[in-house]
Every structure is written in C-alpha cells, then in structure tokens.
Amino acid sequence: MSERVAELRRAREKSHFLRLSAVVVAVGIAWAWLTGGPLLGRLPAERRWENFKNFAAELVPSPVRKSGNWSDAGPWAWELLTDEGFLALATTLGIATAAIILSASLVLPLLPLASRELSRPDPFGLWAGRTGRFRRWIRKVPGPVTRFGFVLARAVPEYIVAFLLIALLGLQVWPLVLALAIHNLGILGRLWGEVVENAEPAAARHALAAGQSREGAFLSRILPENFNRFLIYFFYRWETCVKDATVLGMLGLLTLGKLIALSKGFFWDRMFFYILLGASVILIGDLLSTFLRRKLR
C-alpha cells in the first residue's frame, strides 16, 4: 500500500511556478519581519493595556459613568436618535438604497449582452441561422465592451468618484448616490454575470430552440431559475452600500459617518453608539434578505 501511495505521489503533476512562488513569498515575509519596525510601536505592554482600559471605559455612556445606573442609557440614546441620529440614519439608508436600485436597474438589461453564452453568434451552441460575416462580427462586439465597462466602473474607488462629483455638483445627496451606483454597477455586473454564466443551460437552450430571443430566454428561463442568487448578491451589495454611505458621509453630508467623525476623539461613547446603530441596520437587512429568499424559494 505504501509503495502505491509513493508511486502516485511521484506521478502527480508538479508546478515549478507554484514552488518558486512559495519560495519568493516565504523570503519576502522573512525579509519584512526581520527588517521592518516593531509592529506594536514603542509603547510598553503596561502602557498599551492602560490605554485600552481608558478607551473601553470611555465607550460606556456618559450618564452611566456618572451615576453607575444603566437605566440612564435609555434617555441618553433616545436623545442622540431624536437629535440627529434618525435623520443621519435615514440619509444613509436612502443613499444606499437608491444607489443599489439604480445599479441593479442598469445591470439587469445588460446581462444578456455581457453573458458569453447569450451574446455570441451561436448562443449556448445552437445554430442561429445563416448570418453574414458583418452580423457575426457585430454579435461579438457588445459582450467584451459591456464586460470592459463593468471592469472600468469598479476599478475606480467610490470615494474618489464621490469626491469628483461633489466638486462638480456640490455637496448634496446625488453625488454620493451616483458614486455608489457607478461602483456597484461594475460589481453587480460581475457577480450577476457569473450567475448567468454558471446557470443550467437546458431551459434557456430549449427556449431559444423554440424561437425565443436571447433576451426572452434570459427573462423567462435564466432569471426566474436563479432569482434567489440574484437576490443574495443584491442584498450583499446593499449592505456594502450602507457601510460605504456611512464612510462617504465623512466628506461632509449628514450621514452616520459624519456623526462618527464628529464624535471621534471627544465622545467615544457617542461614536460607539452610531457604529452600533449602523450595524443594527445591516443585521435587519440580512434578516430581511433571508426571509425573502425563503419565501421565494
């Protein structure tokens, strides 16, 4: 038995490139570890522990620190919510929701063009009839152009796009919505495109053979069969949009990000409260996504 195992091990495929890459990575890690500065800075361990305890104590709501009674945290949290918290939360959710809906509305009609199977002259290997050389060439162009557009849209960070749009349009909601929509156009295009590429082709092939157009086969076969997967990616990107809208608020618009930035360094308890508020929205969105997918399965 051991001889058989040894024989199989000798006969296995070997990649010299992978072995060389592993050596280069190991050497790079060792060089960075030996020549770099200390990872934890020059503060002694006791000082770092004191800093951590002071920071953790500052996270406790200020009325609770004074009275020692956690029942005082409720009125304090409600005051933060009614002051600017609800408005900032609504703005954050509005930006994220508008951006992801705009992205999805733009990506969905482009998927038949972006799909390598649907956009080629013979979709899913089916003969599409006699076509001239020019029409076959035209059929080959939209797919690569659309996929390149998706790559270009997600290549530029949304923070930079938002900064440029604010310079053009002024400090308002729409520059942030458009920046997130452009960035997620490329990401949703890639994710949903992978769903279309990996979809079971039998139903779509039958629809095409029965005379349906490529768009009709996509809408009547591929989209319904894989709708849950489309929904998963939609809510995943929506959650990311909520977090990105929070960060983009630091550019000056009243979102949770602006409140977090104003609280940092002075009111750590408020900052922590706004962070938890944003996290609770993500949790609710995840529960909603799970509920919808179970109902639609």
CATH number at residue 193: 1.10.3720.10
What range defines the domain where residue 178 resides? 72-296
The band of 84, judged by pLDDT with boundaries at 50, 70 and 90, is: confident
For the range 135-140, what are the long-range contacts, defined as Cβ-Cβ under 8 Å and sequence gap of 24 or more?
none
More confident residue, 145 or 2: 145
Domain count, the chain: 1
Assess if residue 54 is contained within a domain: no
From residue 177, give the alpha-carbon distance in Å to each of 231, 241, 289.
20, 9, 22
pLDDT (0 to 100) of residue 188: 93
Q: pLDDT tens, 159-175?
A: 888 888 888 888 888 88
Assess if residue 189 is contained within a domain: yes
Assess if residue 59 is contained within a domain: no
Assess if residue 283 is contained within a domain: yes
Q: Is the pLDDT of residue 141 over 80?
A: no
Q: Is the pLDDT of residue 106 over 90?
A: yes
Assess if residue 12 is contained within a domain: no
Assess if residue 58 is contained within a domain: no
CA atoms within 13 A on the CB side of 162: 26
More confident residue, 214 or 153: 153
pLDDT (0 to 100) of residue 197: 83
Q: What is d(CA 135, CA 130) in angstroms, rounded to the nearest whole number?
A: 10
Reading the block at residue 47, the tokens are: 């000082």
Assess if residue 45 is contained within a domain: no
Q: pLDDT tens, 117-130?
A: 777 666 766 655 55
Assess if residue 223 is contained within a domain: yes
- pLDDT, averaged across the chain: 80
pLDDT (0 to 100) of residue 107: 92
Question: With contact defined as beta carbons under 8 Å apart, do 254 and 88 qualify?
Answer: yes
Q: pLDDT tens, 230-288?
A: 988 998 899 888 888 888 877 777 778 778 777 776 788 888 888 888 888 888 888 88
Instruction: Tell me the average pLDDT across 33-58.
Output: 72
Length of the chain: 297
Terminal alpha carbon distance of the chain: 48
